[in-house]
Amino acid sequence: MKILVTNDDGVTAQGILCLARYLSREHTVTVVAPETEQSAVGHAITIRFPLWLRKLDINEPFEIYAVSGTPADCVKMGMDVVLGSPPDLVVSGVNRGKNLGTDVIYSGTVSGALEGAIAGIPSIAISSSDFKNPMYETAAKFLLKFLKEFDVKTIPRFTALNINVPSVSYEELKGWRLTRQSKRMYEDYFEKRVDPVGRDYYWMMGNVIENDPDPLADYKALKEGYVSVTPISVFMTNEKYLKYLEEVYHESKTSR
């Protein structure tokens, strides 16, 4: 397959280079990624500033391009400017740290995959679960094998796979499970600090809340040693609540 690879940790991050090296063993890989770290930028795109694209002279079995923008910018430019035609697959990662539950709203890694999904390209976001000790090789090995057994052509437009891999050796993986995006979230708070000249500033902190009763919650698979594979969509309509509103306000709408 012709695979476009991006990330949000930066074009020379260990995770993306490890992933591209493994994928290039069996596929044609092109890396188009942010020139600087773009973690937690969500699905931002650059519309008020110019974008710079440069090819890196790095001794790798694939081409690497750096973009002065976000992961979503990289996917757009990768398809339109670098490749000139749609790839067979967009892969974003390997991210340093998990992307579970509400993380997907903020994640540049996930947004890179969703940008491919918007364009109608089968797309995957992949993350290694432990930020302090990411096992990129485990995630890369897993994805290379996964692509042999999973038909990415079945992924519908506007949908991407969000894959999270436990930070263990490849041999320790128990397999993979289909999961749901969980209600895992953060209880945020701001820590007040003082800079060297005496001015106050604030650093956002947070405690993880994992109390989702769903047995298919994404984080539960990781805790049991399985890779979590969650199909996610760009659409955010709450269908259940919409149906409720239609029932409640149906009379008022029709009586106007």
Residue among 100, 76, 111, 108 at smallest CA distance from 10: 108
219-224-229-234 Cα dihedral, nearest 10 degrees: -10
| 195 marked ligand binding residue | no
Considering the domain boundaries, does residue 201 fall inside one?
A: no
Q: For the chain, what is the domain count?
A: 1
| 211 marked ligand binding residue | no
Considering the domain boundaries, does residue 206 fall inside one?
A: no
Considering the domain boundaries, does residue 55 fall inside one?
A: yes
What is the DSSP track for 5-57? EE-SS-TT-HHHHHHHHHHTTTSEEEEEEESS--TT-TT----SS---EEE--
Considering the domain boundaries, does residue 200 fall inside one?
A: no
Task: Please give the residue range of the domain that contains residue 172.
Answer: 2-183+213-254
* CB of 34 closer than 8 Å to CB of 74: yes
pTM assigned to the model: 0.95
| 130 marked ligand binding residue | no
Considering the domain boundaries, does residue 177 fall inside one?
A: yes
Q: For residue 207, with 0-12 CB atoms within 10 Å meaning exposed, 13-18 middle and 19 or more buried, which class applies?
A: exposed
| 8 marked ligand binding residue | yes
What's 32's domain CATH number? 3.40.1210.10
Digit-by-digit pLDDT tens for the chain (256 residues) are: 999 999 999 999 999 999 999 999 999 999 999 999 999 999 999 999 999 999 999 899 999 999 999 999 999 999 999 999 999 999 999 999 999 999 999 999 999 999 999 999 999 999 999 999 999 999 999 999 999 999 999 999 999 999 999 999 999 999 999 999 999 999 999 999 999 999 999 999 999 999 999 999 999 999 999 999 999 999 999 999 999 999 999 766 555 5
